[in-house]
Structure 1
């Protein structure tokens, strides 16, 4: 089994807030992330797929094709957008890095060919904070 990772970047704004809570409770739990005027991140996305190399190409999956899928189904949807308001696959969800990683998985998984599996979504929200999602 071989693992191939493609790295992409995007910028997006969001706000973490539970509408059932007071402004004070949201600030207590989410801190600066509950800013009424939103805040943004320069996200770094690592998408890892796995499989066996194709005997005709030596590839698990063409890295350029993987980049194109990420661009179409993720980056074009989220880059320079408000995750709370503009991104259909995040509608009705808390826009935490955890939920965004799950959403990205759900966007990409159906578009991989037979024999290639999505292994991991690793999403850096900041250089010191990231999440990893392995499906399921």
Structure 2
């Protein structure tokens, strides 16, 4: 018999730079659309990615998933690629602007492959004022009260 379903959230920190720029529009349009985030030399953030999983609480361990397994997965899939990287140079963003919204979508794609629990949400904090959530393709918008 499966135990009760619980949610687990885990946070990972990484530092990366990016430039918000669309080649298909003029330099003036890019500056107007992205402002200082269109700096030709890029700019950096200390990101915090939070992933939330759900699953039955294992009767023997009392856990939704083994944190060592999750941390190992995050190290291999997220941190080895994103930490101290220029996001524009990563294959993930070859055809997409490396906005934090697109970072959320990419992290969803990565963490959806984690085999031991169900991914429910990815949140990426870009600054103290900006955070972005992604709940998967086709998810209804959820508002926090």
Identify whether the pair has TM-score above 0.5, normalized to the shorter chain. Answer: yes
**1:57 paired residue number:** 61
Counterpart mapping for 1:19-34 below 5 A: 19-34=23-38
For residues 64-85 of structure 1, give each alpha carbon's deviation from its aligned partner in whole angstroms, at most 9, with x where no partner exists: 2212211110111011011011
Structure 2 residue runs without a partner (length 5+): 138-145
Larger-Rg structure: 2
Counterpart mapping for 1:1-136 below 5 A: 1-85=5-89, 87-113=90-116, 116-136=117-137
Per the TM alignment, residue 38 of structure 1 is displaced from its structure 2 partner at its CA by: 0.7
- How far, CA to CA, are the matches of 2:75 and 2:59 in structure 1? 27
For residues 13-45 of structure 1, give each alpha carbon's deviation from its aligned partner in whole angstroms, at most 9, with x where no partner exists: 111111111111111110111101111110011
- How far, CA to CA, are the matches of 2:92 and 2:25 in structure 1? 24
For residues 30-63 of structure 1, give each alpha carbon's deviation from its aligned partner in whole angstroms, at most 9, with x where no partner exists: 0111101111110011111111101111100112
- How far, CA to CA, are the matches of 1:79 and 1:61 in structure 2? 24
Per the TM alignment, residue 109 of structure 1 is displaced from its structure 2 partner at its CA by: 1.1
- How far, CA to CA, are the matches of 1:74 and 1:112 in structure 2? 15
Q: CA RMSD in A?
A: 1.0
- How far, CA to CA, are the matches of 1:98 and 1:124 in structure 2? 10
Structure 1 residue runs without a partner (length 5+): none
